Structure 1
């Protein structure tokens, strides 16, 4: 057994009854909004979403405010507002509101009844409740009598359904909460899902002459009539002599007969056949518009043949537009031949665009020869781009010779890129000599990379001791005795100070050559002292030649008596005693033979 309570105020009714299933819930899953929302709440390790969309999610099993099925608002609010956007204007029958109960019995002792009291419901075509219709405002419920859930019959058309409550005017009625609060668990808006229909099954079409096809959702009575009609179903035409919305306007006395008045616009009938829509002036019969191709008071004169779409001014004969290739008041002149698509100004004949290679008002001037694709400004003749190697307004200036591909800025002449080895606005500056491949940054001149052995923005710093190669990125071998012994250009290093040019093998440290006077793998052995020029074989130390007075592999043997000079190749002459002969110069040391 169900209890039905009928509460009537103004033009709406509130009915506490079981849910009606003849209409569809138009609010389910639609976009919502509320002021001062509580977005979510954490209960233990679970986070519950309390946003405005909870009131249209179809869930209302848990009616506690923190159960995740209901909306919540912040505390201490003077007003709360919630709305759902149905997406378009629908015919609404009733609205069901389920308020939070805390999963407790609803009644005077339920702590949430005081927050529900005093609420209002609006239907509006905008997001503002002030622009809409008040469906219901609670002014008489108490904590003991307010129903939950509550069905509100509201047979109106609208896009937004707005729930509102406030605590702004003290003193409040008995049982009201001190602050406004919004704890909606579900708002269901029932109505017809397709505009223009009514009835419990929404299968009956509204009468065709209802304004905007809007009618009452239960009885199909029009909520307004289109112009020219009246009656509950807007199926009665206006009486002769009347027209307009609800037939409220009276036709002009200039209509010959009342039945000649158009019931929608009030214009008189029986116009000339070329009048547009057969409409003419209500008193003198002159056309209010002409069919395409005609002009004149009675639209009896054909428009000029070159008018676009054969349309011309209704009284002056001048064309409203010209066919391509023509201009003038009646489109009798041909556009200049170099106009793009043969289109020109309808009155002046100046081209609206030029064929490539031409410019000027009538496209009679040729673009400069160095313009890219021979295209230039339609009025100034300045090039829209230049051939490679040229710049300037008319591309008459040559780009600097060091520009990459001879390309430069069209107006400034600054290079867009430089040949290798150059930088600067016109590529007139040479890159630093130690830049890798002589390439550097086009504006600053900083190197894009360094030759081996150098580092720095301009590659003007040698590698630090112990580093070598490109950008000093490689570390010298551990076989170098000292970091400064590493060659900063190559992978060759010096391990001993007696290596020629201080260069040695990168892996075993053996010298690639020795300074004069030294030999051995690391040039640590001195050549025999009598070697000519102190030079000897790099590995076995045999002299490459002997000083005068010596011979032998290591030049450690003096010349035999009677011989002297280099390699002991000369005989002493005139010495009484061969042993007295100087083995270097061949002198007899003062004792000569008498022979």
Structure 2
């Protein structure tokens, strides 16, 4: 009998599939669609015709003729003691055996056989087992339905439950650390306890003086002026700036200039003039950073030769005594009636007109004789009338010959009277015959070596041959030590024996360098 029933159902299914490959002809009476084929819901029946096993758990009843309730999770159920029981639980919002009872209105999901909520609350502003406890008042957008912790806080609050206030004057702060993210206008800092640049006063609500970036909170005096200004109230131009708005730079090489006229008040070391465009006395070079020769008051900017020596000195480098002076420092006057005297011995070389040292045919130590003979040769110390020649060296050693009238060779600085052999080499040449050039950057050099004597021609080099470039940042350097004479633009130093280091406008030292104590 059972086999007959099953065969009947299978035949019906086969007949239905013969007319259509889809499930459109399943009549729904104890038949279900499986993979496009209409099959019986029951897979095993009793001898009385009751179904022992439905094809799947979406059906129940003696012939598996009933669909499980839609409130069952995944529509799965079974008969237990004549009751329909959802086997996989209830859909959201339902509870009970067959999930036909609504959850409490506050819950989106609840306990199957109780009133406790098991999912988020319907109203995100509540939390707890029954979703009846309001979230903390300073939560923004609700709280965790189990713990009550806030997702985000209202501005001005922090902490898990947004129950801790941010620092005073803080609009919004970090929820964990408490550090302020946004201060109210006028304040700054992690705790908004200091005024932001441009504000002052007990409540940081007073603006700093015009042109002031930051000022003292208590007294209101400016700490940092905008570029170009200085003073407690930023009402004067800082050194190097001029104009109504202190936005015009002073002339090049000028430390401070008149705000109205723009004329320079203080030039940088080495410069002078209303526009600092000429060297002050004692300085020379393209950048007025090379000192004039020793004992020179003022020298030519291009050649470096002295224009005005200090009293007692003369020459392009002020290295010889002027007529009438003698001594190591040219500070002793020559003997009476003497126009020019030997620097080392003090003996007179040329007497003033009308006086002589005994004439040409007699010797004397001082210019105390007036019996001078006019037949003397001008460049002879002693003239030998019998031989018509000078006896002894020429007065001016830059001449040679019998009567000391032939100029020494151009490459000589003084020569022997009889042979014209160079006693000293002219500037720029060296060697036994004074026919070898000094190093290109030397003004003078040793006759028998390549060592430069005196200053280098280009002060941006140093060393024994004036061939070593000065350190980067120098504006000229000492020949022997390589120490900077001055600093180039955008470099500065504090002490004169420091090297010049890069600097920005705020850190550049514009004052003269200091000597260490």
**Bucket of the pairwise TM-score, normalised by the shorter protein:** 0.3 to 0.5
Q: Highest relative contact order (Cα 8 Å, sep 6+), 1 or 2?
A: 1
After TM superposition, the score normalised by the length of structure 1 is: 0.29
Higher helix share: 1
TM-score normalised according to structure 2 size: 0.33
